[in-house]
Amino acid sequence: MHEPNRAIPAYAEPDWAQVARIPVAECGEALCSLRLAPALRVYPAYRHLGIPEAVEDCLVRREVFERLLRAAAHLPAGLALVVLDGWRPIAVQQHLYRTLETAMALHHPQADAATLQRLTRQFVSPPSRDPQAPSPHLTGGAVDVTLCDVQGRWLDMGSRFDEVGPRSFSAHYESAAADDAAALAIRDRRRLLHDAMLEAGFANLPSEWWHYDYGDQLWAWHRGRPAALYGPTAPPSLEDLWRQQLAERFADPT
């Protein structure tokens, strides 16, 4: 049951060094397409923004799919869950990180490399396919979500998706003034989303109200789990599928 007055805690930024040390016990779940799920609204944001090599669907691990359905069912009548991004190709991760780091450098000309990395990492993880320390979206366990009404009108969540600034922090509107009706409405929408996603087993990245994790190292860090379930993955190519089928067909029964 949703508690409309449950505040979003102002969690500290993850300790990224500790996150990267959490072991990955890859469970082998496949990626699934969300495009045909009637309970979800799917809008692959980076494809619509024209980011090179962005996929035209939102792909997630099978268990993440099931938990998104649970989160959608937890929302009040009249609201729907919009999925903006899931699994992300390494080329897209590289593009996002490089673009934001360049913008940060222009905005903070005196910042050293470590400071630029810290400022950039609040909103985009460094690209990594390392099996023991992958970027969250490369695992298929990280998702970006928002809310819309039943007609598909997006709700005002207080900042744009991927906005780099204090308004994007999940708990930003928890300090809204009692007489600021617009800010209080945004606070309550964020609470609705946060509550639905956490009830479904996800963990939230504190610097991004839209970013949630299940099964990856960030999820394990937030939830105190001994290991992550998902390492880096990718959709199988047609060649991979043919090889698998032929291997199964001609496997030695002995």
Catalytic residue among 26, 208, 239, 248: 208
Q: Has 15 been labeled as part of a binding site? A: no
Is 2 annotated to bind a ligand? Reply is: no
Whole-angstrom CA distances from 251 to 166, 228, 238, 245, 247 are 56, 32, 20, 10, 6
Q: Cβ of 211: how many Cβ atoms within 10 Å?
A: 27
Q: Specify which residues 61 forms β-bridges with.
A: 31
Query: Does 3 participate in catalysis according to the annotation?
Result: no
211 is in an annotated binding site: yes
For residue 243, the Cα-to-chain-centroid distance in whole angstroms is: 32
Q: Which of 7, 2, 15 is nearest to 222 (CA)?
A: 15
Q: Beta strand pairing status for 79-85 and 40-42?
A: parallel
Task: Write the DSSP string, 12-31.
Answer: PPP-HHHHHHS-B----PPE
The SS3 assignment for 85 reads strand
Rounded-to-integer distance, Cα 25 and Cα 11, Å = 26
**Residue 72: partners with Cβ closer than 8 Å, 6 or more residues away:** 39, 40, 80, 81, 196
Q: Which residues contact 192 (CB under 8 A, 6 or more apart)?
A: 2, 4, 75, 76, 79, 147
Residues annotated within the binding site are 137, 144, 211
The residues that are catalytic are 208
Residues annotated within the binding site for Zn(2+) are 137, 144, 211
